[in-house]
Amino acid sequence: MRPLLLTISILFSTTLFGQTTLGKKVMINNSSSFDGAFLFFPLLNDTIKIDGSKHLLLDTSNQKRKLFYCCYKDDKSKIYNLDTDRLIDTTINFKIPDKEYFEELYKSKICPLCHKTENVVRFVYGKPGKELIKLADEGKIKLAGCMLSNTSPKFYCKTDKLEF
């Protein structure tokens, strides 16, 4: 599968009713002909669909909206943090899927928000037995459901309450 690039061009940055917003024009592979892409905000467990107009208006005053990644066709980009990423270019290119980023992140087990490992635990999918329930109660693992996809999280940071 070839990597897919999602391009977001900065249109403006302004304050609207006390909110700092960031306007974006969205393209995938230099084309506006795509459907089903969305931004996922893991700290809020919320999404924004990239609609037919291919424009986004992001409220960056909400600290929990500053961490996001893009999903398209059951694959995802790297995790972006608007507090640390420099947006000096007029375009952000999302590489989808960004397997190298996630392989390194999962290998190191470092939270992409606090950059620490001590409170990161792995997700365990499926119906748990007594032993897994005990480990979850002790905070050594995080239990998840049975449904698994390319965008399912593998780790959980107990400090930041972040699934990644």
What is the residue-averaged pLDDT of the chain? 78
Residues in the chain: 164
Give the mean pLDDT of 21-46.
Answer: 74
Higher pLDDT, 130 or 86: 130
Do 66 and 25 fall into the same domain? yes
Higher pLDDT, 54 or 75: 75
Higher pLDDT, 67 or 84: 67
Do 161 and 91 fall into the same domain? no
Say how far apart CA 36 and CA 51 lie, in whole Å: 8
Name residue 3's amino acid: P
Higher pLDDT, 17 or 39: 39
Percent of the chain with pLDDT over 70: 67
Name residue 162's amino acid: L
Domain end call among 79, 106, 133: 106
pTM over 0.85: no
Say how far apart CA 117 and CA 112 lie, in whole Å: 10
Do 102 and 113 fall into the same domain? no
Q: How confident is the model at residue 1 (pLDDT cuts 50, 70, 90)?
A: very low
What is each CA distance from 27 to 32, 67, 92, 99, 145, in whole angstroms?
5, 20, 10, 21, 33
Instruction: Say whether pLDDT at 115 is over 80.
Output: yes
Do 40 and 52 fall into the same domain? yes
Report how many domains make up the chain. 2
Provide CB contacts within 8 A for 5, sequence distance 6+: 28, 29, 30, 93, 94, 95, 96
Q: ω into residue 153 within 30 of 0, thus cis? A: no
Instruction: Say whether pLDDT at 23 is over 50.
Output: yes
Per the structure, the complete domain to which residue 8 belongs is given by: 1-106
Give the mean pLDDT of 140-157.
Answer: 91
